[in-house]
Amino acid sequence: MNKRIAVLLSGRGSNFAAIAAAVNAGLIPASIAVVVSNRAGAPGLDHARALGIETLVLPSPGITRADYDSALAAELQARSVDLVCLAGFMRLLSPSFVRPFAGRILNIHPSLLPAFPGLDAQKQAFEYGVRITGCTVHFVDEGLDSGPIVLQAAVPVLDTDTVESLSARILEAEHRAYPQAIALVLSGNYSIEGRRVLRPKQ
């Protein structure tokens, strides 16, 4: 049966666009069932609408985190979503969401975790002075940027870099890594041992 993905975003949506392109190219054997945002004005929603994908806005002010996350889980369950992809979704998810979708939520983060979790990861890495940073696709658990790692891509930091130029190269790496990680997870061709996500031996 065709797998169904939900993409959650809060802003620009360039990772969503990369996922949608990979779906269209047949690199991800799935369809995008819905794109959800907590922000009505998120540019990523316009792109989803242009592609004819259902969009859903769930604003959060005035709602407790637990109620918000339960409502979000219910919306995705109603659409028989198999895999949830966080793509710049700038909200922490509580157990009310993470439990019903345990092992079925991915996130992309713009650093080589566990270095530089949280906000402005590219700036954190730049200011720390690391020579190599990158991006990480990981399963989401109840912590902050803390679940088992599916895939990482390294990006060197150049002497000539600014936070902006470094962020742009990390973003290119994100656009390659996220579709690859989604395809792997949807294939089911992996096992998790402790924190390690392992591919079967060829």
Residues of this chain that bind ligand GAR (CB under 6 A): 9, 11-15, 44, 87-88, 108-110, 121, 145, 171, 174
CB of 180 to ligand GAR, least distance (A): 15
Cα dihedral 106/110/112/114 (nearest 10): -70
Distance CA 43, CA 51 (A): 13
Confirm whether 47 is a catalytic residue. no
* Residue number, 35 or 108, with CB nearest to ligand GAR: 108
Q: Which residue has the tokens 């990369």?
A: 18
* Residue number, 15 or 55, with CB nearest to ligand GAR: 15
State whether the Cα torsion 134-138-141-147 is positive or negative.
negative
Distance CA 144, CA 133 (A): 19
* Residue number, 74 or 144, with CB nearest to ligand GAR: 144
* Phi/psi-derived region of residue 180, left when phi > 0, alpha when psi is between -120 and 50, beta in every other case: alpha
CB of 1 to ligand GAR, least distance (A): 28
- Backbone angles phi and psi of 76, in degrees to 5: -75, -35
* Residue number, 76 or 122, with CB nearest to ligand GAR: 122
CB of 43 to ligand GAR, least distance (A): 8
Angle at 143 between CA 172 and CA 48, to 5 degrees: 40
Residue whose Cβ sits closest to ligand GAR: 88
- Backbone angles phi and psi of 173, in degrees to 5: -65, -35
CB of 44 to ligand GAR, least distance (A): 6
Q: Enumerate the active-site residues.
A: 109
